[in-house]
Structure 1
């Protein structure tokens, strides 16, 4: 055993001796191609996102050019001067085992600077560092809207085309256009009304005066996607504070009516204001003869733009009354007068068109799911006296509820209802049994749902609802749009939250430092006549009124 151990030790010693006789292998590092990859400069004590300026490196002539924008901040009109670069913080991006000296910290970039770069092999190269203030070469159109007509141009940057989706004549109008900072545009459609029934060529010249892009603006009818809303097409078109459009009273703005051209905002006891539906600008005031705190309590509309107003019973008297106007310039006339002591008038909904077929619904408050239902056939209201329907499974909907049917020709079709009661969900009701068929997301009992609407867009049914925050604390004032193609209320078609459009919680009374004492709000779905766009209008009392647009364009 002792001899075996000695033999093993001898072998190990012999192998170590052989190894010791070999000369060590040379260290061959992985040599990167550029050695120095970038030199970044920034202004000290400036934490803006724009404060980082990269370089261009001429490896043949050993010149590093740090490029600064002509304007800084980059979207300002302030012209950057060479004298502004007296003290710049600099950082080098080096390959492994590469060194630069003198040590980098600050540079006076009003003059030439010299640095030495030593690579992995020990070779040193001197670079001259210079600054260049350079005008931008960007020449893109980032927005092209015909705001007066509510048309948003679809920009295809690769093809340099801008598509205006319209089935009707457009004519000569001014455009709302955004282009790259410092660039110019010719002809300028912001100041020259072009005829968009014909293709228009528009050239954008960059700030540097040489780089150019030419776009073709064309009216066209594109293909639609197979069904529903195009993903990520939703955008906030506009939002207006109610106070900015002339509504000064508190807790008196109850609802909105929407036509193709206008959004009518009901303010109790006053003539309603109406806005341009596509840009939110104030367009006029309706003249109603019955204005009063309890007599124009709420407003709504049908799909063809008929505008309805309700009174509040029994407070306003013994008859529930609905007035109808065929447009903002028409004097409303009595449409429904139903003698009753029931509590009605805080909400009214219309499925369909009063010119053809429609179902009108009005919740009966302080009941467990009761609502009144009128039917319109071939433009004729069948009766002044409604059917009284009871939605089963509702715990009692107090003074906040809304009901909308899915099929304006069929009173046994499914309907949708929202309410401040148990169960705290938007409910999809079976129209034949009046029982709950499906429920939406569970809602926080601190907040109040009170509006619902339904529309069919590009062969898919959608339901919209809201959630109102009456307090000076908490986070609500939300809107929701559900895609019903799955057969449930489990799919939200649009993200209105912080990861999406950022609307939820940011357009109600609380965000303006107010409260919403009567828990009022509204939401309306409006499909364009050409079927390419769906608009979601929303209003929160003492807060904002606004509009979201989405489309089904195949692009």
Structure 2
């Protein structure tokens, strides 16, 4: 449609506006003068943005530390002629050669960063391809003065392999055993004799001319007065359920049981895989026999003594809720609880204590929205009743099959307990006498699911761990949080505002998206914690369905 400006005044006004706009001075944005790389790592084709190989920037040199094999315990040698580099540079800087192309790092290569102002900085990229020389664990065995066999687990701090012994201990026939990468060798034969009356050198050698010198020594270890040593967190292993452990069925690996020496993974309708608790290597499978079934071995957990428990799912598997006990990874399932009910149970359950002495078992009501759970008590090794007591939490509820709770005492049903459930997604501490909330953390994002919790006491301190699971193809969660309950139980741990937060998994790093697995549509995962026999280590294990199972070690060694 045409517009005819009939009024001279209107015409003059429009002309003035156009003139003013045309004469307005153009503002030019200042170019950014920086040309430094703030972060860089390497990966290879098909791994997207996974940080496979970290880098160190020293002046104008960038050293890429490339594992000789990837995964490190495989036979898959890394081809450093076909690596992708990923770097963070200022927004208007350019990098050449292009980071979108494969880099051949069999020889050092030059990388140039040009700032927006034209300033140039050149780096030399050097790939350091070597085998793994870490000592994952070490054990000293010996006969004491009376001829009885003894065993001590090492406390490994940097390049010191320390064995904590009481002064004056007599060690006869001392032998050293250790766990290192399968492509590496130790300067002392595994399970070979060793004299630790004085400190001894120990060298681990690997492919690519890699070597690392350690010192073996006996020390009088001292614990911190309380809690975990800051900065002691060490990821011992991260294994993909499918690619690394051979669990080929998606969606139905939903629970883990930590027994001390092993971590058991429950996959419905299959025998349970168990892995080494320190390396993540698959060791074997538990024969479940008649307990094996899609709705029978639905979930698993363990008590503090390493007894393994498996439950079924009611009402899907009938109206009898069963918990079977397996005394070890070579044991067979034995009926422990058999309870006829009209309710829905079996997505999760928790045990605090040792069922051979004293313990409390908690099983949340599922399917419909609920605030209740079933509770069994074991006193002096005997189940008080096959019929549980029902407990209802005031001011807290969950839905969509997602809830878990655990007591803080194996002997006192009025002790406090922790609970978590979706979509409330608040971790709450509940008064066991009144079943009312005492304290709570802020609600985690309700797009994702919080549905498992564990509690443990370690070195005079009290810790709780829980998860946040991504069940979608979008967004980011898949985190686990370890919290000192006496260090400040408030805030949002995913935002780093919880004072008692000790450690958290990097968001998304161990979920199904990082492993290349299918969407975790059931929104399942699990956490479990154990303490070493010598009391120096706390172990946190967690698993995300279709993703990874991970083991993290913490210690309480006073290294001052």
Shorter-chain TM-score above 0.5: yes
**Conserved 8 A contact 1:449-1:466:** yes
**Conserved 8 A contact 2:135-2:180:** yes
**Conserved 8 A contact 2:136-2:279:** no
Structure 1 equivalent of residue 550 of structure 2: 546
1:508 pairs with 2:507? no
**Conserved 8 A contact 1:147-1:176:** no
Structure 1 equivalent of residue 480 of structure 2: 479
Deviation at 1:215, TM superposition (A): 5.5
CA distance in 2, matches of 1:223, 1:451: 33
CA distance in 1, matches of 2:327, 2:56: 53
Please report the TM-score for the alignment, with normalisation by the length of structure 2. Answer: 0.68
CA distance in 1, matches of 2:67, 2:483: 39
**Conserved 8 A contact 1:174-1:194:** no
Deviation at 1:338, TM superposition (A): 0.4
**Conserved 8 A contact 2:471-2:523:** yes
Deviation at 1:162, TM superposition (A): 3.1
CA distance in 1, matches of 2:165, 2:240: 30
SS of the residue corresponding to residue 502 of structure 2 reads coil
Deviation at 1:310, TM superposition (A): 0.3
Deviation at 1:494, TM superposition (A): 2.4
**Conserved 8 A contact 1:471-1:510:** no
Structure 1 equivalent of residue 403 of structure 2: 401
**Conserved 8 A contact 1:254-1:298:** yes
Structure 2 equivalent of residue 382 of structure 1: 384
Distance 1:220-1:469 versus aligned 2 partners, 3 A rule: same
**Conserved 8 A contact 1:524-1:537:** yes
**Conserved 8 A contact 1:350-1:404:** yes
Which entry has the higher C-alpha Rg, 1 or 2?
A: 1
Structure 2 equivalent of residue 188 of structure 1: 187
CA distance in 1, matches of 2:64, 2:241: 36
Gaps of 5+ in 2: 1-53, 69-78, 81-106, 112-120, 123-127, 141-151, 206-210, 491-497
Deviation at 1:219, TM superposition (A): 3.7
**Conserved 8 A contact 1:397-1:419:** yes
Cα deviation digits, residues 56-110 of structure 1 (max 9, x gap): xxxxxxxxxxxx99x99999999xxxxx99x999xxxxxxxxxxxxxxx99xxxx
Deviation at 1:433, TM superposition (A): 0.7
Cα deviation digits, residues 17-67 of structure 1 (max 9, x gap): xxxxxxxxxxxxxxxxxxxxxxxxxxxxxxx9779789xxxxxxxxxxxxx
**Conserved 8 A contact 1:260-1:305:** yes
Please report the TM-score for the alignment, with normalisation by the length of structure 1. Answer: 0.68
Deviation at 1:492, TM superposition (A): 3.8
CA distance in 1, matches of 2:214, 2:139: 21
How many aligned residue pairs are there? 422
Q: How does 1:73-88 map to 2 (within 5 A)?
A: none
SS of the residue corresponding to residue 503 of structure 2 reads coil
CA distance in 1, matches of 2:407, 2:478: 24
Distance 1:194-1:453 versus aligned 2 partners, 3 A rule: same
**Conserved 8 A contact 1:148-1:278:** no
Gaps of 5+ in 1: 1-47, 55-67, 79-83, 90-104, 107-135, 179-183, 207-211
Q: How does 1:238-277 map to 2 (within 5 A)?
A: 238-243=237-242, 244-277=244-277
CA distance in 2, matches of 1:403, 1:487: 20
1:285 pairs with 2:285? yes
Distance 1:435-1:287 versus aligned 2 partners, 3 A rule: same
Structure 1 equivalent of residue 29 of structure 2: none
Cα deviation digits, residues 196-244 of structure 1 (max 9, x gap): 57355227699xxxxx998641244410001000000011100110012
Structure 1 equivalent of residue 31 of structure 2: none
Choose which of 521, 526, 529 in structure 2 pairs with 1:522. 526
**Conserved 8 A contact 1:318-1:340:** yes
Distance 1:229-1:205 versus aligned 2 partners, 3 A rule: closer
Structure 1 equivalent of residue 504 of structure 2: 496
CA distance in 2, matches of 1:522, 1:218: 37
Distance 1:232-1:468 versus aligned 2 partners, 3 A rule: same
Structure 1 equivalent of residue 221 of structure 2: 222
Distance 1:205-1:152 versus aligned 2 partners, 3 A rule: closer
* TM-align CA RMSD: 3.8
1:162 pairs with 2:161? yes
Distance 1:313-1:155 versus aligned 2 partners, 3 A rule: closer
**Conserved 8 A contact 1:301-1:308:** yes
Deviation at 1:527, TM superposition (A): 1.1
Distance 1:166-1:467 versus aligned 2 partners, 3 A rule: farther
SS of the residue corresponding to residue 510 of structure 1 reads helix
SS of the residue corresponding to residue 469 of structure 1 reads coil
**Conserved 8 A contact 2:133-2:212:** no
Q: How does 1:112-511 map to 2 (within 5 A)?
A: 143-146=134-137, 153-155=155-157, 161-165=160-164, 171-176=175-180, 188-189=187-188, 191=189, 193-195=191-193, 198=196, 199=198, 201-202=200-201, 216-243=215-242, 244-289=244-289, 290-365=291-366, 366-422=368-424, 424-486=425-487, 488-489=489-490, 490-497=498-505, 502=506, 504-511=507-514
Structure 1 equivalent of residue 43 of structure 2: none
SS of the residue corresponding to residue 316 of structure 1 reads coil
Deviation at 1:493, TM superposition (A): 3.4
Deviation at 1:355, TM superposition (A): 1.1
Distance 1:449-1:73 versus aligned 2 partners, 3 A rule: closer
Deviation at 1:510, TM superposition (A): 2.2
Distance 1:552-1:385 versus aligned 2 partners, 3 A rule: same
SS of the residue corresponding to residue 308 of structure 1 reads strand
Distance 1:272-1:166 versus aligned 2 partners, 3 A rule: farther
